[in-house]
Amino acid sequence: MWRDHLTEIIVFSFLFLLVSVMGFVAARWRAPKDMAHLDEWGLGGRSFGGWITWFLVGGDLYTAYTFVAVPALMFGAGAMGFFAVPYTIVIYPLVFLVLVRLWSVSHRHGFVTPADFVRKRFDSPVLALLIAITGIVATMPYIALQLVGIEAVLKTMGVTGESTIARHLPIIIAFAILAAYTYQSGLRAPALIAFVKDSLIYIVILVAVVYLPYKLGGWGDIFDAADAKFQASQRADDGILLNGNNQLQYVTLAFGSALALFLYPHSITGVLASRNRDVIKRNMSALPAYSLLLGLIALLGYMAIAAGVKPLPGAKEGTVDSNTVVPLLFDQQFPDWFAGVAYAAIGIGALVPAAIMSIAAANLFTRNIYKEYLKRDASPAQEANVSKITSLVVKVGAVACIVFLDPQFSIDLQLIGGVIILQTLPAVALGLYTRWFHRTGLIVGWAVGMGLGMWMLYQVASPTRKHFGGSAFPLSEFGFDTTKTIYVGIVAVAVNLAVAALLTLTLRAAKVEEGTDGTEPDDYFADEGDPRVTPGTERDADSAREPVA
């Protein structure tokens, strides 16, 4: 019952309301004279320095879902859950040079979304539309998953009801508040709240990794307890070490997830809000500090095993909600007031990325669907207004996913989202370095990769679902005599690239029109203070405003 968790509820509510007030105050923080512009509302004036960007991007990538789902995977499957650690380590060297080029060309031309860049680079509205739709579709379930993290906390505190509406009412209220201050403050709201969110998470995790091993008998006992559980498991892939069955899946999932991470629109939004190239370079060097934190978060799964945590029942009869493992661990092992702080860290950890994701999805709709196909002469103020309204619609859609769908289905959708967003890699990431690919080849490659990826995901079964049960595709489906699996996204994007390359060679030989590259080589090295593009493009030099200091 909730009365047994009154102290936790009070602490959680106080900190939640505190950041909500900060969200509304953010409209006046580093405020410009005019918020009626996507550069200001959707990108914070492209003015954020090193510390703000570090907290913003870190808060964007390491979410409430990370806080609850990674330890839950460790709790349920063991070493496979550690895939999240290497992929957040290898990603930063991979994107170091890619992101500074994206920032420069976006700064020079006033791009707000990755689809803006693709439109100009390949002279293809169709390809840009596909990139925009892909980004929106991949982002929606990711927003819904932030609600899963909050619901795990609320369920642990006993804040539930019998009816569907009563059970989800706290989530609806929380996202109504989030929608209100995001509408008013734009990207400045999650940027300011990220300071509190990340500070709370660092405090909670550092205390946990010192106190819990001491209380549970030491790391040796924790790993022994985890090993004993997996030794008794009937699943061949479970264990505190990888084995021959899951090593290929582990490597391809880690590498594929790394490639996908900064293709998500919300990741790019945080980068484009940076003040200059040096801010991005410093952050790509400093953000791996979050990877250390993630490794510690993952170990909470083993601590929960040693502590004898039993997950709460799931939505379906006979199932368990593994997302409640971490909240229950803190509930059982810490004083109520500290458990309340930990719950607030998870809850606030959902607000920051959810806000950025909704803004990124709204920007994609506004710039690459509304302005491109519905109102070409839209003014900056109209763009900003449409983006604000769309961000509200996106949040309502995310809440609807949780209210009307099984949350476990939403989690599977997120796995699908990674496969989907990977299909934008040839046009966005490789497009920043080369225009060798023909625009038609990229479109067909995208379609083939997407189709293959969906077919493969459809073939994946789980204990509770015949189709779309995960992202580990059995190689036996391809005729191999093995029990090994491989990450669907890697196969799909490899085929995507192969098709795009073959079609490019064919179309070049047939001398098919390729369109005109609207960027110049020096655009990819532009920095703060460099002049904007000439009249007639996205934003002319006369209308470009200086970033807020």
Distance CA 120, CA 517 (A): 7
Position 362 scores a pLDDT of 94
Whether residue 542 has pLDDT greater than 70: no
The more confidently predicted of residues 237 and 308 is 308
Q: Which tokens is 422 given?
A: 């990977």
Q: Is the pLDDT at 546 greater than 50, yes or no?
A: no
pLDDT at position 549 over 60: no
Give the model confidence (pLDDT) of 421-473 as tens digits: 999 999 999 999 999 999 999 999 999 999 999 999 988 887 777 878 788 89
Predicted local distance difference test score (pLDDT) of residue 339: 93
Query: What band does 153 get if pLDDT is binned at 50, 70 and 90?
Result: confident
pLDDT band of residue 111 (cuts 50, 70, 90) is very high
Provide the pLDDT confidence category of residue 35 given band limits of 50, 70 and 90.
confident
Tokens linked to 86: 């290497």
HEC readout, 41-92 = HCCHHHCECHHHHHHHHHHHHCCHHHHHHHHHHHHHHEHHHHHHHHHHHHHH
**Confidence class for position 97, pLDDT limits 50, 70, 90:** confident
Letter string b/e over residues 224-261, b meaning 16 or more CB atoms within 10 A of that residue's CB? bbbbebbeeeeeebbbbebeebbebbbbbbbbbbbbbb
Task: Check whether 512 has a pLDDT greater than 50.
Answer: yes
Residues whose CB is less than 8 angstroms from the CB of residue 434 and which lie 6 or more positions away in sequence, other chains included: none
Q: In the beta sheet, which residues pair with residue 465?
A: 462
**Residue 547 predicted with pLDDT over 50:** no
In angstroms, the CA 6 to CA 522 distance is 60
Give the residue carrying structure tokens 């890699």: 425
Return the CA Rg of the chain: 23
Q: Is the model's pLDDT at 489 over the cut of 90?
A: yes
Whole-Å CA distances, 28 to 19, 25, 41: 15, 6, 12
- Work out the pLDDT band at 150, boundaries 50, 70, 90: confident
Query: Do 311 and 159 form a contact (C-beta atoms < 8 A)?
Result: no
Burial 343-377 (b: 16+ CB within 10 A, else e): bbbbbbbbbbbbbbbbbbbbbbbbbbbbbbeeeee
pLDDT value of position 537: 45
Mean pLDDT, rounded, for 111-139 = 95
DSSP for 369-401, written as a single string: IIIIII-TT--HHHHHHHHHHHHHHHHHHHHHH
pLDDT for the residue numbered 213: 94
Q: Averaged over 356-380, what is the pLDDT? A: 93
User: Which of 156, 310, 297, 295 lies closest to 229 in space, CA to CA?
Assistant: 310
Q: What is the phi/psi pair of residue 517, to 5°? A: -75, 120
Token pair for residue 330? 């803190």
- Residue 548: pLDDT above 70? no
534 has pLDDT over 60: no
Q: Torsion-angle region of residue 537: left (phi > 0), alpha (psi -120 to 50) or beta?
A: beta
DSSP 467: S
Task: Enumerate the H helices of 80-232 as residue ranges.
Answer: 84-109, 114-122, 125-156, 164-185, 188-216, 219-231
Residues found in the chain: 549
pLDDT score, position 535: 41
Ramachandran sector of residue 363 (left: φ over 0; alpha: ψ -120 to 50; beta: rest): alpha
**So what's the pLDDT on residue 405?**
65
Which secondary structure element, helix H or strand E, spans residue 312, and what is its range? strand 312-313
Where does the pLDDT of residue 545 fall: very low under 50, low under 70, confident under 90, or very high at 90 and above?
very low
Question: What does each C-alpha distance from 276 to 37, 288, 527, 530, 549 come to in angstroms?
Answer: 20, 20, 6, 10, 12
Amino acid at 50: G
Segment 382-425, tens digit of pLDDT? 999 999 999 999 888 877 777 776 655 555 667 778 899 999 99
Residue 408's pLDDT is what?
Answer: 57
3-state SS class at 523: helix
Predicted confidence band of residue 61 (pLDDT cuts 50, 70, 90)? confident
- Mean pLDDT taken over the chain: 86
- Residue 381, both tokens: 């103020």
- % of the chain at pLDDT higher than 70: 91
